[in-house]
Chain A
């Protein structure tokens, strides 16, 4: 029973982080039709910024906020500096072919990933370092009995829950949220409504950058920080997004939590070295059984 509860709570906390990553991927995919493989590279970079600030005796929370802001800025920069010029070029013969229009941004995002990792290695020597958390990672005690949940797990779940609530309010209650959903669903009608679809997309990249930056801050106290630490997170986040249906924001969050439980239960009841295989099997099963995802719809999937 205790191991079940441990698996459940740590699965919830991990799943919360995966949900952020997956949400970030889906936001950009819906808005721009691009899977941003550089996303966790951006997050790695902003987490290094936070780590650097903390080393220079900034407080955890000011470093936290600055990392989130740089996450947003980096996301917007990737869109404005690279993706928008790339996808708007119509004359290039290569981009006239349909499949190349999806392939070229993927390659570009891999280029960014490579550059960010190399830069992080050069700036920060690339050695693995720890990253602090504001809450001690000990199990919570009531009286003398240890609960199966740690204070850090609670912190992660709390922060992500708050983020998801704010995101939901943003998308369902504000005009900008409506504009964002509309741009993703039908750019032409949205432009004809006088909305600057390009700027809305850039905002999507910025929010995605912030979400993944947050994921980086929340995961590194456990995993430590190096230029490659967050690669795994991208893979899991991608799988979560596919399971959730790539087009659905709610689905992406759901997919994140499902992956959290799968990985956590495999860790507790099987062995850590089975985690990768479990992810691969899970992804292939999802693709074979329900390629449109749990909440994705078939007709809106981009070809």
Chain B
């Protein structure tokens, strides 16, 4: 198959899958009440951040414990552009990608020559430091109070077209095009030559270097791309109402990593599954604790306990996550 033809097919496949995801979310939202519609918008937003981890860890083997902090960079970037400089929301989202990518470049340059644990620790330090930066430079970042931003009202042409839509639905409509675009980008990247280069680095740095791949540059590029995605997610996440340190806590970074891990670090389908799981799991647990009349002092810790246990079970039973387990079952059936 010629290279151009291969690219065309990959492009077509990614386009179709992204459109399918878009339609799936729209159809699903029709079945949901407003609360779950806003949860769906959360999923669409966080999915972008989880995809950034799939890209970073699954495709190039680097690990970040601070994707939430990079989300904060994107969130603050876009919120400042809108509130201080009067940019339009849509342009601020696009610029958030570049701002956080630039931030990722700086961080990547510091950490890319280091092995996994260094990057993990450095990004964790960052996740803890970012909120205190917001507090330290209070006049600029508005400290703990944060910056109020929102998606605004649905435009008239849209309501004319589809009728009255709720705030929750509108938030989903704002986020979804970006989610679809992010999916398209990640699908394309991981299936082309670039993606293969990244995987070579992931699997064996020495042999990748011997086949002429510049390891450090590749790692930095992946980190920059992943940061751009996380920043976009952070901007979308902030525009739910508030950009503040409390919106991007350290736990957010760990939750995102959990989503990527339990779904399967190397699978985009896994990322989607994992994101659904981390958003709906706390709701589910809350329902169960209420039904079983478990006291709140215990119930408060059950989501964290479940997520930790899921992480452990995943690495023990099947490090390739749900996607890996599925593949394993399919493989068995064939034989």
- Interface residues, chain A, CB within 8 Å of chain B? 29, 34-35, 37, 82, 85-86, 92-100, 102-104, 106-108, 110-119, 121-122, 125-126, 231-232, 235, 238-239, 242, 246, 273-277, 279-280, 283-284, 287-288, 291, 301-303
Contact between chains at A85 and B204 (CB < 8 Å): no
Chain A residues with CB under 8 A of B288: none
Q: Which residue of B113, B204, B304, B319 contacts A104 across the interface (Cβ within 8 Å)? A: B319
Q: Are A107 and B62 in contact (CB under 8 A)?
A: no
Q: What's the minimum C-beta distance from A275 to chain B, rounded to whole angstroms? A: 8
* Interface of B toward A, CB cutoff 8 Å: 57, 60-63, 65, 109-111, 113-118, 120-122, 124-126, 128-129, 132-133, 135-136, 201-206, 250, 254, 257, 261, 265-266, 297-298, 300-302, 304-305, 307-312, 314-316, 319-320, 324
8 smallest CB-CB distances across A and B, nearest first, come from: A99-B61, A114-B308, A111-B311, A118-B305, A35-B117, A115-B308, A121-B301, A111-B312
A95-B319, A238-B121, A277-B129 are known contacts. Are A121 and B116 too (CB-CB below 8 A)?
no
- Beta-carbon contact of A242 and B311 below 8 Å: no
Q: Are A102 and B116 in contact (CB under 8 A)?
A: yes
Known contacts: A98-B61, A235-B124. The answer to whether A291 contacts B113 by CB under 8 A is: yes
With the chains together, A117 CA to B303 CA distance in Å?
11
Cβ contacts under 8 Å, A86 to chain B? 315-316
A118 in contact with B304 (CB, 8 Å) = yes
Once the chains are docked, how many angstroms separate the CA of A85 from the CA of B317? Answer: 11
Q: List 10 A-B contacts (CB under 8 A).
A: A37-B121, A85-B316, A98-B205, A99-B61, A99-B203, A102-B63, A106-B120, A112-B312, A114-B254, A122-B301
A119 close to B305 (CB less than 8 A): yes
A121 contacts B300, C-beta separation under 8 Å: yes
Residues of B within 8 A of A85 (CB): 316
Chain A residues near B261 (CB-CB < 8 A): 107
Indicate if the CB atoms of A37 and B120 lie closer than 8 Å.
yes
Structural contact, A283 and B124, CB atoms closer than 8 A: no
B298 surroundings in chain A (CB, below 8 A) = 122
The distance in angstroms between the C-alpha atoms of A93 and B60, with both chains bound, is: 15
Contact of B202 among A100, A106, A113, A288 (CB under 8 A): A100
A82 to B312, CA, bound (A): 9
Bound complex: CA A235 to CA B65 (Å)? 12
A94 with B63: CB separation less than 8 A: no
Given A97-B204, A231-B250: A276 and B308 interface contact (C-beta under 8 Å) = no
Roughly how many angstroms separate A106 CA and B257 CA in the complex, as a whole number? 11
| Given the contacts A35-B120, A104-B315, A274 and B136 also touching, CB distance less than 8 Å | yes
B287: min CB distance to chain A, Å? 18
Q: Which B residue's beta carbon lies closest to that of A280?
A: B129
Neighbour of A115 across the interface among B201, B250, B305, CB < 8 A: B305
Q: How far is the CB of A61 from chain B (nearest CB, A)?
A: 31
A29-B117, A114-B308, A277-B136 as given contacts; A287 in contact with B128, CB under 8 Å: no
**Nearest CB of B to A225, in Å:** 16
Question: B315, A107: Cβ atoms under 8 Å?
Answer: yes
Known A-B contacts A97-B202, A110-B65, A291-B114; A283 and B315 likewise in contact (beta carbons under 8 Å): no
Report the minimum CB–CB distance from A294 to chain B (whole Å).
15
A127 CB, min distance to chain B CBs, angstroms: 9
Instruction: Report whether A99 and B116 are in contact in the complex, using a CB–CB cutoff of 8 Å.
Output: yes
A284 touching B110 by the CB < 8 A rule? yes
A103 proximity list for chain B (CB < 8 A): 57, 61, 63, 116, 265
- What is the CB-to-nearest-CB distance from A112 to chain B, in angstroms, rounded to a whole number? 7
Are A238 and B114 in touch, CB under 8 angstroms?
Answer: no
Contact B205 A108 (CB under 8 A): no
Contact between B133 and A277, CB atoms less than 8 A apart: yes
Are A126 and B110 in contact (CB-based, < 8 A)?
no
* Residue of A95, A113, A114, A291 most packed against chain B (CB within 10 A): A114
Contacts of B128 in A (CB 8 A): 231-232, 235, 276
Known: A93-B320, A99-B61, A104-B319. A111 touches B114 (CB 8 A): no
Closest to A236 in B: B125
Q: A97-B203, A99-B61, A235-B128 are known; give 15 further A-B pairs, CB within 8 A.
A: A82-B316, A97-B61, A99-B205, A100-B61, A102-B115, A103-B265, A114-B254, A114-B308, A121-B301, A121-B304, A126-B301, A235-B125, A238-B121, A275-B132, A279-B125
B266 to chain A, nearest CB (A): 8
Task: Please name the residue on chain B nearest to A25 by beta carbon.
Answer: B121
Assess whether B297 is in contact with A276, with CB atoms less than 8 Å apart: no
Q: Once the chains bind, are B297 and A280 in contact (CB under 8 Å)?
A: no
Determine whether the beta carbon of B122 is less than 8 Å from that of A276. no
Chain A residues contacting B113 (CB-CB under 8 Å) are: 291
Closest to A232 in B: B128
Cβ–Cβ < 8 Å partners of A108 in chain B: 311-312, 315-316
> Pick the contact of B311 from A96, A110, A231 — CB < 8 Å?
A110
CA distance A96 to B300 in the complex (A): 38
Specify which of B205, B261, B324 lies most central, judged by the most chain A CB atoms within 10 Å of its CB: B261
CB distance from B259 to the nearest CB of A (A): 12
Among B117, B122, B257, chain A packs the most CB atoms within 10 A around the CB of: B117
**Chain B residues within an 8 Å CB radius of A96:** 203
A280/B126 in contact, CB under 8 A: yes
Write the nearest CB–CB distance from A180 to chain B, whole angstroms.
Answer: 20
Instruction: Give the docked Cα–Cα distance between A112 and B271 (Å).
Output: 22
Partner of A107, one of B122, B311, B320: B311
Give the chain B neighbours of A287 by CB distance below 8 A: 110-111, 114, 118, 122
